[in-house]
A and B are shown apart, each in its own frame.
Chain A
Amino acid sequence: MPRRQNDTTAADPPLVPFWHDPAKRGMLLQIVVLLLALGVGYVLVANTQANLQRQSIATGFGFIQHEAGFEIGEPAIPYSAADSYGRALLVGALNTLRVSFTGIIFTLIFGSVVGVARLSRNWLISHLAKVFIEVMQNIPLLLQLFFWYALFYEAFPSPREALNPLRGVFVSNRGLIFGVPIEHPAHGWMLIALLAGIVLWRLLVWWGRGLQERTGTIVPVHRLGIALCLLLSLLVWLAAGAPTAMNMPVFKGFNFQGGMSVSPEFSALLIGLVLYTSAFVAEIVRAGIQSVAHGQVEAAMAIGLRPGQVLHLVIFPQATRVIVPPLTSQMLNLTKNSSLAIAIGYSDFVSVANTTINQTGQAIEGVALIMVVYLFFSLSTSAFMNWYNKKTALVER
């Protein structure tokens, strides 16, 4: 240190000593803080390693490749007990992703509907929405999950006496089981037809806007577009010889074989998460809508827009910029809350990771994995939402 002082003195005599220079002092402080953080981190890691070694607990991530030896309830990708812990954890992560993603979509739709209903001029609707919000927000989510899960296995009959509301659809305490079409080459072509329909729809919208600007004529482009999509898919299906073969669930032995099923664990978790988070989203949407000055609505009405158009063209675009930031944190909450799955038997990432920790005894590695996975999910969600927020932010002209 004295050397450095001498150097500066030689070059250009300073008016103030370096510890009175805010820039240099700031730099020095930052270096000290960084060293402290590194030091604490080093102590923690070294101490943990020493302790693990002393207690002869296995360390490292080698277990990832070992055979897991346990089954998982509803894997999204093929999985058996003979697969590795790594694959088991991947199945768990995909299960978390599945319930969070579906949950977020439903929450956005349902929460917005309740939020708009809360502002309805109809007394009954607005008060129903209010009661819903208050009840959902004020009961702990874990209790709600137990309630929905118990409802599934207590209220629905055993698979032998399954309810059969529609042909090929069965509801029992094993979940919802329904028939699905057997795979056929026509399905791929139908998907292509659907995509073509969507492209045509976009073109239609572009053409419609031009027409409206030139002549003032409004063409119902969206209705036409949807009809076009459906019609194209239907034509392709007919052209392929109208394959109708279905993979129908059949009761055999203990349970239904064939078809697709949605388990009570998944359903209970999804319903619980969606209803709980919707209550918060509804309040955010309500606040967003109320943040738009009333004069805007009056002005929109004055130029002859219908109520639907007022909502769609005037209120929502302005409300979005208020709604999006708090909405992001609700989405993150939903993802994190999905780890309560363990209480009602849905095999999410935490559940699989816990079993792995228990069998390998490597709690530190397991918990680190849990942290990394949730961090990844949360950061991806918030990165997407930040991008969306920028996109929808009001452009000042």
Chain B
Amino acid sequence: MKITRLIALVAAISLLIGGLAVAGKDFDAVKKKGYLQAGVNGGVFGFGMPDAKGVWKGLDVDTARAIAAAIFGDADKVKFTPLTAQQRFTALQSGEIDVLTRNATRTLSRETQLGLNFVTVNYYDGQGFMVAKKLGVKSAKELDGATICVLPGTTTEQNVADYFRNNKIKWKPVVIESTTELAKTFFAGRCDVLTSDASQLAGARSVAPKPEDYVILPEIISKEPLAPVVRHGDDQFRDIVDFTVLAMINAEELGITSKNVDAMLKSKDPVVQRFLGVTAGNGAALGLDEKWAYNIVKQVGNYGEVFERNVGPNTTLGIERGLNALWTAGGLMYSPPFK
């Protein structure tokens, strides 16, 4: 009798725990919590790094702020969790964060085996190499025998292995988990080469003791489409994150900026009216306030503004738009219709 009671108890506990584990979709959980928990880099200038005052800055940080603006109408309702490359996916899988905006490359195996969904790309990158000028290296093909600093657990780590294997070049890796520690090690001369996404190399160089002593080699050896990531299992939340990135691109296509967005509310263009929620529909479809896109543009800006502010030619990174320009300007940024 005791045993049957025990089995019943165990069954009850398992139901309870199991029930807890499946209850609450991601979107409901975020709304209930009242803020968005976003995983960001923490050590890459221009993408995710706190400034001298401790305020988070960067393209990925702004993307997370835009999601908060869309959900809560307030871009500040977001908390940031700095994550290393090795921690990031586990943190998302385990529910420690709601969304990962941390320059993560979309790949087939990550999309399938990790149980994650990548949404629209918010930065098209490619892997490059940085070396000290005094080595006189002109091409990555001359790197035979070099020691290379690389972040563990990244696509970068695999790309460089593939690239050198294909070109029959011998090399030695030095892998250090922290981005800043890795850059410090490289600038102290422990490695001949630092390899990472080209944008990150520019970021690392901008904070180097003597930026002018380093060059980025011409070879770009990989495609790195960087995109925000959510868990499988909540399509509504996925759509919201996806269309937040797209709204920023769409705003730029429509010529709406944080400066002129209030004036644009009076626009007679039905496309603009629909986008800004003057004509209702889009917000309800996503389960958001009709002002969601307005809030994103007003509080964070369109994609062009965010790019210029964080990584563009007028910042210390000085990155050209390139692939990240709108499709109308020869880039890859393209938004589906907002209707």
Other-chain contact of A351, B18, B89, B162, B175 (Cβ < 8 Å): B175
Number of residues of chain B lying within 8 A (CB) of chain A: 60
Any chain A CB within 8 A of the CB of B52?
A: no
Contact residues in B for A247 (Cβ distance below 8 Å)? none
Any chain B CB within 8 A of the CB of A173?
A: yes
A265 touches B115 (CB 8 A): no
Looking at A45-53, A226-234, A289-297, A381-389, the stretch in contact with chain B turns out to be A45-53
B136-181 interface with A by 8 A CB criterion: 143-147, 152-154, 157-158, 160-162, 165, 171-178, 181
Known: A39-B6, A73-B172. A47 touches B21 (CB 8 A): yes
B153 touches A35 (CB 8 A): no
Complex: how many Å from CA A91 to CA B157?
17
Other-chain contact of A265, B94, B116, B146, B174 (Cβ < 8 Å): B174
**B27 → chain A closest CB, angstroms:** 16
Other-chain contact of B176, A81, A345, A355 (Cβ < 8 Å): A345
**B261 → chain A closest CB, angstroms:** 38
Any chain B CB within 8 A of the CB of A195?
A: no
Contact residues in B for A36 (Cβ distance below 8 Å)? 6
Looking at B32-40, B184-192, B305-313, the stretch in contact with chain A turns out to be B184-192
Contact residues in A for B177 (Cβ distance below 8 Å)? 342-343, 351, 354
Other-chain contact of B18, A47, A55, A72 (Cβ < 8 Å): A47
A42 touches B144 (CB 8 A): no
Known: A46-B14, A70-B157. A57 touches B93 (CB 8 A): yes
B146 touches A73 (CB 8 A): no
Other-chain contact of A39, B10, B162, B185 (Cβ < 8 Å): B10
Other-chain contact of A70, B9, B146, B161, B192 (Cβ < 8 Å): B161
**B86 → chain A closest CB, angstroms:** 5
B17 touches A47 (CB 8 A): yes
Any chain A CB within 8 A of the CB of B233?
A: yes
Any chain B CB within 8 A of the CB of A43?
A: yes
**A171 → chain B closest CB, angstroms:** 14
Known: A55-B93, A55-B233. A158 touches B113 (CB 8 A): no
Complex: how many Å from CA A39 to CA B16?
14
B174 touches A345 (CB 8 A): yes
Any chain B CB within 8 A of the CB of A357?
A: yes
Complex: how many Å from CA A57 to CA B111?
10
Any chain B CB within 8 A of the CB of A186?
A: no
**B136 → chain A closest CB, angstroms:** 11
Known: A69-B162, A345-B176. A173 touches B153 (CB 8 A): no
A361 touches B190 (CB 8 A): no
Complex: how many Å from CA A150 to CA B94?
35
B10 touches A80 (CB 8 A): no
Looking at A10-18, A114-122, A125-133, A251-259, the stretch in contact with chain B turns out to be A251-259
A56 touches B21 (CB 8 A): no
A21-50 interface with B by 8 A CB criterion: 32, 35-36, 39, 42-43, 46-47, 50
Any chain A CB within 8 A of the CB of B248?
A: no
Other-chain contact of B165, A35, A81, A343 (Cβ < 8 Å): A81
Any chain A CB within 8 A of the CB of B108?
A: no
B113 touches A355 (CB 8 A): no
A360 nearest in chain B by CB position: B113
**B4 → chain A closest CB, angstroms:** 11
Any chain B CB within 8 A of the CB of A344?
A: yes
Known: A71-B173, A343-B176. A50 touches B165 (CB 8 A): no
A153 touches B147 (CB 8 A): no
Known: A42-B10, A69-B158. A255 touches B145 (CB 8 A): yes
Known: A47-B17, A345-B175. A254 touches B6 (CB 8 A): no
B190 nearest in chain A by CB position: A153
A71 touches B171 (CB 8 A): yes
Contact residues in A for B21 (Cβ distance below 8 Å)? 47, 50-51
B152 touches A54 (CB 8 A): no
Any chain B CB within 8 A of the CB of A379?
A: no
Contact residues in B for A255 (Cβ distance below 8 Å)? 145-147, 172, 192
B14 touches A361 (CB 8 A): no
Complex: how many Å from CA A76 to CA B21?
43
Any chain B CB within 8 A of the CB of A347?
A: yes
Contact residues in A for B172 (Cβ distance below 8 Å)? 71, 73-74, 255
Complex: how many Å from CA A72 to CA B160?
12
22 A-B pairs whose Cβ atoms sit less than 8 Å apart in the complex? A54-B233, A55-B233, A57-B93, A70-B152, A70-B173, A71-B157, A73-B172, A73-B175, A153-B188, A153-B190, A253-B144, A254-B192, A342-B177, A343-B178, A345-B182, A345-B185, A351-B177, A354-B153, A354-B177, A355-B175, A358-B86, A358-B89
Q: Beyond the given A344-B176, A361-B110, please list 9 additional residue pairs across the A-B interface where CB-CB is below 8 A.
A: A39-B7, A55-B233, A69-B158, A71-B157, A71-B161, A73-B174, A254-B145, A358-B85, A358-B86
Q: Which residues of A contact B (CB under 8 A)?
A: 1, 32, 35-36, 39, 42-43, 46-47, 50-52, 54-58, 69-74, 80-82, 150, 152-154, 158, 173-174, 252-255, 257, 264-265, 342-345, 347, 351, 354-355, 357-363
